[in-house]
């Protein structure tokens, strides 16, 4: 039982790393569209980034997510699987009992809550690093970066330290409320479709789903989850990008009202195409990495302990 619990965390780590490599370029585009200015639609944003920063621009700030998202996914999958197992034990007397809808929903909610504690600072640093080359402008103030194009933060650790010094713990956890409102329903709409879709397309009689079922179910779950999470994701991105130069939002409600007043309802669906499109490959990579490494570890275990 103990080793099984650890395996879920390890497999989540592998899945997280796989998803970053696949999804980071689209994540950069999403953040620029949601919190940047003058990018127009997705295609023009891709072309602008490519023209100004070449291919490297899409992978800006990737080493940090690669390290951090692997840890983050490890926690999410580890907490989700172990909570589900605990619920199986408590409710049905068997940890490996096929989960009911309520079990998956509860386990997703727990994973969502715990993940935000780790995820908020990670996302804040990632967004600040992605956004710091953007010229800053408001209705009446135009502020260029200290030197045009010269970054405020030298890297993730410097960014984390600077925010901590200037804004304290509250600064590091800026956008946490928006992230909770995004991730708790978001993880329910991630794990529930995955669990049931995977079960539905896996042929009867097979012990575990095949890679194609995992890929398809993971991709569909990711597209659903990210598509529906977009409005709160926009608010979270804006709250966290705010403060590279100047703070203009006083919290979730203020950010929603200001964004709505200035840009209308459509602003909350900014980046929805990128989110849904990105959700498919990143989640299929995440679930494939998770399930296949879990399967490999279990196989090793049965070979070493027959």
pLDDT mean across residues, the chain = 84
**pLDDT-based confidence at 292, cuts 50/70/90?**
very high
Q: Distance (Å, rounded) from C-alpha 217 to C-alpha 191?
A: 10
Give me 42's structure tokens. Answer: 């997705």
What domains sit in the chain, N to C, each tagged with a CATH number?
A: 1-134+150-301 (1.50.40.10)
Region for residue 264 given its phi and psi (left: phi exceeds 0; alpha: psi -120 to 50; beta: otherwise): left
The dihedral sign for the CA sequence 202, 208, 209, 210: negative
Whether 137 has a pLDDT exceeding 90, the answer reads no
Residues contacting 60, CB < 8 A, separation 6+: 28, 53, 129, 130
Residue with token string 């790393």: 17
Q: Distance (Å, rounded) from C-alpha 190 to C-alpha 209?
A: 17
34 neighbors 270 (Cβ within 8 angstroms): yes
Give SS3 for 195: helix
31 neighbors 241 (Cβ within 8 angstroms): yes
pLDDT at 147: 45
Q: Distance (Å, rounded) from C-alpha 191 to C-alpha 105?
A: 8
Candidate from 67-76, 128-137, 217-226 with smallest mean pLDDT:
128-137
High-pLDDT (> 70) share of the chain, %: 88
Identify the burial level of 41 via C-beta atoms within 10 angstroms of its C-beta, where 0-12 means exposed, 13-18 middle and 19 or more buried. exposed
Alpha-carbon radius of gyration of the chain? 20
Measured from the Cβ of residue 109, the count of other Cβ atoms closer than 10 Å reads 18
Instruction: Choose between 60 and 149: higher pLDDT.
Output: 60
pLDDT at 36: 75
pLDDT tens column, 147-201: 445 567 888 899 999 999 988 999 999 999 999 999 999 999 999 999 989 888 8
231-237-238 Cα angle (round to 5): 95
Whether 145 has a pLDDT exceeding 50, the answer reads no
- Residues 241-251 have a mean pLDDT of 77
Burial string for 114-143 (b: 16+ CB within 10 Å, else e) reads bbbeebbbbbbbbbbbbbbbbebeeeeeee
- Residues 127-135 have a mean pLDDT of 75
């Amino acid at each position: 039982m103990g080793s099984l619990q650890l395996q879920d965390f390890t497999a989540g780590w592998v899945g997280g790393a796989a998803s970053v490599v696949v999804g980071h370029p689209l994540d950069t585009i999403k953040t620029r569209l949601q919190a940047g200015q003058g990018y127009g639609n997705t295609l023009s944003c891709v072309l602008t980034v490519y023209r100004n920063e070449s291919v490297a621009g899409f992978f800006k700030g990737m080493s940090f997510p690669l390290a951090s998202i692997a840890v983050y996914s490890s926690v999410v999958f580890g907490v989700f699987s172990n909570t589900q197992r605990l619920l199986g034990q408590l409710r049905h007397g068997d940890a490996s009992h096929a989960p009911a809808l309520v079990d998956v929903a509860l386990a997703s909610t727990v994973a969502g809550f715990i993940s935000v504690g780790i995820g908020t600072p990670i996302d804040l640093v990632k967004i600040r690093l992605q956004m710091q080359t953007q010229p800053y402008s408001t209705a009446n103030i135009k502020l260029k970066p200290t030197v045009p194009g010269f970054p405020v933060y030298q890297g993730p650790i410097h960014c984390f330290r600077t925010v901590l010094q200037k804004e304290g713990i509250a600064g590091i956890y800026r956008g946490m409320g928006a992230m909770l409102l995004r991730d708790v329903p978001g993880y329910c709409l991630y794990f529930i479709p995955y669990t049931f879709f995977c079960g539905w397309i896996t042929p009867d009689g097979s012990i575990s789903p095949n890679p194609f079922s995992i890929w398809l179910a993971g991709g569909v779950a990711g597209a659903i989850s990210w598509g529906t999470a977009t409005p709160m994701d926009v608010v979270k991105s804006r709250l966290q990008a705010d403060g590279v130069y100047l703070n203009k939002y006083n919290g979730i409600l203020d950010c929603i009202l200001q964004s709505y007043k200035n840009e209308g309802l459509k602003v909350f669906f900014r980046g929805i195409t990128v989110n849904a499109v990105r959700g498919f490959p990143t989640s299929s990579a995440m679930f494939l990495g998770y399930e296949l490494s879990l399967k490999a570890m279990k196989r090793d275990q049965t070979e070493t302990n027959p």
